Structure 1
């Protein structure tokens, strides 16, 4: 019940509409379950007693039932419409959650796991909210309605059916518990298999070039085989549950018919009542036969839904609000005092590190790999907030800024920049979003300052040239220049550079260096680098 309560809590603003359709569906199902057997009773009693009045009552009820069944597609349409809106809303919340998660999540979890949650698990909610819950509760309501009606007609026959129901539920609950545990394990293996496939696709070039790379394919085959084995065991247990419930349903049907025939032969029940009870027995049998498989399906849905809801309930980055930003311009731009940081709580990457950078000062961070250069950049960007020590920007502690404010005053250019699917113009405009409306002249000016305008104009569509995701239809140097154009458009007072020219050829490196010299004017700059060659404008070198 706790899982179901959580399950329905994510319906959100569609609660009233969803529950209205939900209750209407169950009530109409109960009414129809009671009405059809009653109609059979009237028809057979009219034949048995040759009573035309009973026949007209049966005919009137038949017309009403036909009309109600003709309206069923409209109910189904509204049900589908509401469920689609619910899933759409949950997907939007999942995507927004992805944007708000901290860096720790992305470093500890594979991107394929998030993709599976956003696509596969979220899509499965359509069946969950639309079919599975309705299926289980619908069968339950039909069964209970049938039992109540049977009690009215014959308490003895009702006891026969209920007895078999209790036996079925006992086996269903016991076996279903095992199936549910298996579903959780299967979902984890599917997630891991998705990440493995994602790795194979990302490393497709190496897979083609090196025969030894087929080792990763062997891992994929092995994990796929283990998943198949678990799914076979699950299918076996689910089949066993269905076999038991089907067998008990058959026994219940024969038991009801046998006792009914005996009562008719003794003259204690009329023919129409027997036919009504046999019709009702179909509702009880359907509940018995289908309840096991319906419960198993619902359990699998709850497991998948649980993964989605667990994702939505993860902790986000703190300080997402915008707020008014006003810098103390006379204060020291960057003051770091006895900063200590560890990713895992054990090995310290930074230990009592202190640094003071004055207005307009430019420094280079140098040192061996793993000494904390890039980590310091990430801490200044607010990617990790659990730190010991003091970090101040313009006289204020880092935690006094919201993350949006913090990243508004800092521009970051990494070694490899990512370009989004869209035009070159749109990718440059990203740097200026949040400011006043960006003009075409500002975009072109930023591109010229980054030495990108020249190569952009040689492209067939110029600034409207579409880029693939990652910008892989441009060279590394061209992508870096577009990233620098973004930085010119953003024009933040603090500039962080993480080896921006290390992966470039000599010609591209010179152009990037010239563009960076212009970009660094009147800014506080921290650059991570293994060499100082080509950057004679820096004031200090900090060895870490």
Structure 2
């Protein structure tokens, strides 16, 4: 199971925002326009109290006429309509570009995930990647379209409003401003607490998504072994951890909102008493007093919203950090600067002093860090001539599957080289290499599309008569004729990961996919384990006919597969112990005889057994 996403050091907000600048640069004009009209609307809101001041002072003068009230009302109405129009334009300006940035970041992240090596995906849970691609970027879009713009508008409104308060009465303005001191002090504490809780929450959400995905994919196993209750309990614990973190976030935000709401209100209450005394002593006019509190109310609203806005900004900052954690992962397996080409690959495959060790897991403690660097393969020297079929056998954990994955560069050799036709595979473009080499794994992965699309996934052509002929041939070689009896034939959608099919059916579709690619080198990781011996023999016979010039390296877990190979390589503790024909190795190698004796003699299609629901027979099979 993939480990949880590694924890990272805290990054300053300014640095996180700078990472987003290249993506947001092209929408800056629209954002600036949205900010401009938003600021204009905010300034209008602050100016309205000044109209009230003029109305009140005018009416209190001797000889005031009703026409002054009408004129002021018209001015206020015009200002209100203009403010509403500017607010509408702000949304129009920023919504579309914000969604474009979200889409661009999502596509870029997906592209990077496709380029990252398999070792990266071994370390990361799929739910963590899913939450970064969906939830985090959705939050980032909402912050760009609303939070960031409104935060700047709120700050500007407060600054302009306080400046206007000072023009009305510096005594009252000082009282109101005094509330900002404890708010500023508490803001530093709030930021530290909220950032930590926000990061923990988003990581826990990713882990929870991973748990859901694993449970859905493994639902048959959970049901078959009666472990649904345990899975629910574990999920409940994770969900409770996330709930507790969300409550902690809400508590921090609630306390901060209380502080930024209560202190200005207390300042206004104090200011009211002082203001009445100032008005009574004729130090300010009644209109000025009314304008002061109307302006203070306009300023208090963005102050009260500052908690939510700051929280949204900090959550967006965490989303940016999580996004670029993945984007910063190096693409360690990439095309060479000057790739070589094999015009007509013959399929000669050679391993020259190959060594390989998995990368140390980042989740391990420092004292165990060197455990991941122990070599899995050591000094592998092996050659396959074009058109040869070689079986690779060995006990579990000897490194068979790992060796196969070095051929298409799913993993990179730690030392030595893998060569095709005398050319190091690292000298070939990945697209060319993976056209030359085709792979089928024991643990088959199919996509939620039609049988046709799955089989022709790696084919050079996917439409037209040539593709149809290729499809029929591949299904015939893999003995996957059952595809034609599905409800819609080869156009039947097979469901997520092909779970609507049995294990043996999935293996045959996966084998057909590898065959349809017409490779020069075919790498098979025991893809026939769920087939009966007779079907396996037919598949092997057809493979020899159709792919007579294809070099095949196959991990074998059954004697019947071994016997059909031209030669056999015995892998023992990460080294090649012996190479020869099946008969030769039986005669001279005692470890080979032990390995052969330990191999399965019959297939087991667990999926079919579980689909039938015959758990009693399954218990007997154990």
TM-score of the superposed pair, with normalisation by structure 1: 0.90
- 1:289 is aligned to 2:316: no
Deviation larger for 62-71 or 329-338? 329-338
Match of 1:270 in 2: 285
Match of 2:51 in 1: 39
Match of 2:515 in 1: 488
Question: Does the 8 Å contact 1:334/1:357 carry over to 2?
Answer: yes
Match of 1:529 in 2: 556
Deviation larger for 360-369 or 503-512? 503-512
- 1:361 is aligned to 2:388: yes
Work out the CA distance in 1 between the residues paired with 2:345 and 2:228: 57
Work out the CA distance in 2 between the residues paired with 1:397 and 1:542: 21
Work out the CA distance in 1 between the residues paired with 2:239 and 2:276: 55
Give the Å deviation of 1:340. 1.0
Match of 1:414 among 438, 441, 444: 441
Match of 2:178 among 157, 163, 169: 163
Question: Does the 8 Å contact 1:392/1:398 carry over to 2?
Answer: yes
Give the Å deviation of 1:384. 1.9
For residues 440-462 of structure 1, give each alpha carbon's deviation from its aligned partner in whole angstroms, at most 9, with x where no partner exists: 54344434542557433333422
Deviation larger for 47-56 or 14-23? 47-56
Work out the CA distance in 2 between the residues paired with 1:443 and 1:360: 20
For residues 7-45 of structure 1, give each alpha carbon's deviation from its aligned partner in whole angstroms, at most 9, with x where no partner exists: 4543354333233323432x2244223321222223223
Match of 1:310 among 302, 315, 325: 325
Question: Does the 8 Å contact 2:353/2:379 carry over to 1?
Answer: yes
Give the Å deviation of 1:302. 2.0
For residues 214-266 of structure 1, give each alpha carbon's deviation from its aligned partner in whole angstroms, at most 9, with x where no partner exists: 33333223333333333333333332222222220111212332333222222
Work out the CA distance in 2 between the residues paired with 1:356 and 1:279: 86
Match of 2:117 in 1: 102
Q: Specify whether residues 47 and 386 from structure 1 end up closer, same or farther in structure 2 by C-alpha distance, changes over 3 A only.
A: farther
Match of 1:64 in 2: 78
Work out the CA distance in 2 between the residues paired with 1:324 and 1:287: 58
Give the Å deviation of 1:409. 0.9
Q: Specify whether residues 289 and 326 from structure 1 end up closer, same or farther in structure 2 by C-alpha distance, changes over 3 A only.
A: closer
Give the Å deviation of 1:65. 1.4
Work out the CA distance in 2 between the residues paired with 1:60 and 1:380: 79
Work out the CA distance in 1 between the residues paired with 2:74 and 2:198: 49
Give the Å deviation of 1:48. 2.1
Q: Specify whether residues 323 and 426 from structure 1 end up closer, same or farther in structure 2 by C-alpha distance, changes over 3 A only.
A: farther
Match of 1:24 among 37, 41, 52: 37
Q: Specify whether residues 253 and 59 from structure 1 end up closer, same or farther in structure 2 by C-alpha distance, changes over 3 A only.
A: same
Deviation larger for 374-383 or 116-125? 116-125
Give the Å deviation of 1:502. 1.1
- 1:539 is aligned to 2:579: no
Q: Specify whether residues 233 and 326 from structure 1 end up closer, same or farther in structure 2 by C-alpha distance, changes over 3 A only.
A: closer
- 1:176 is aligned to 2:191: yes
Work out the CA distance in 2 between the residues paired with 1:447 and 1:203: 29
Deviation larger for 55-64 or 192-201? 55-64
The alignment yields a C-alpha RMSD, in angstroms, of 2.9
Match of 1:235 in 2: 250
- 1:256 is aligned to 2:283: no
Match of 1:442 in 2: 469
Work out the CA distance in 2 between the residues paired with 1:508 and 1:460: 23
Question: Aligned runs of 1:262-411 on 2, under 5 Å?
Answer: 262-319=277-334, 326-327=341-342, 333-343=348-358, 344=360, 345-385=372-412, 387-411=414-438
Q: Specify whether residues 505 and 28 from structure 1 end up closer, same or farther in structure 2 by C-alpha distance, changes over 3 A only.
A: farther
Q: Specify whether residues 114 and 377 from structure 1 end up closer, same or farther in structure 2 by C-alpha distance, changes over 3 A only.
A: same
Aligned length, in residue pairs: 543
Match of 1:86 among 101, 120, 142: 101
Match of 1:14 in 2: 27
Deviation larger for 313-322 or 108-117? 313-322
For residues 41-71 of structure 1, give each alpha carbon's deviation from its aligned partner in whole angstroms, at most 9, with x where no partner exists: 2322332232677546534532431331342
Give the Å deviation of 1:496. 0.7
Question: Does the 8 Å contact 1:335/1:391 carry over to 2?
Answer: yes
For residues 91-140 of structure 1, give each alpha carbon's deviation from its aligned partner in whole angstroms, at most 9, with x where no partner exists: 22222222222111111122222222222222222322223223432321
Match of 1:203 in 2: 218
Work out the CA distance in 1 between the residues paired with 2:193 and 2:240: 21
Q: Specify whether residues 490 and 418 from structure 1 end up closer, same or farther in structure 2 by C-alpha distance, changes over 3 A only.
A: same
Q: Specify whether residues 267 and 85 from structure 1 end up closer, same or farther in structure 2 by C-alpha distance, changes over 3 A only.
A: same
Match of 1:125 in 2: 140
Work out the CA distance in 1 between the residues paired with 2:564 and 2:224: 43
Match of 1:468 among 489, 495, 520: 495
Unaligned runs of at least 5 residues, structure 1: none
Give the Å deviation of 1:498. 0.9
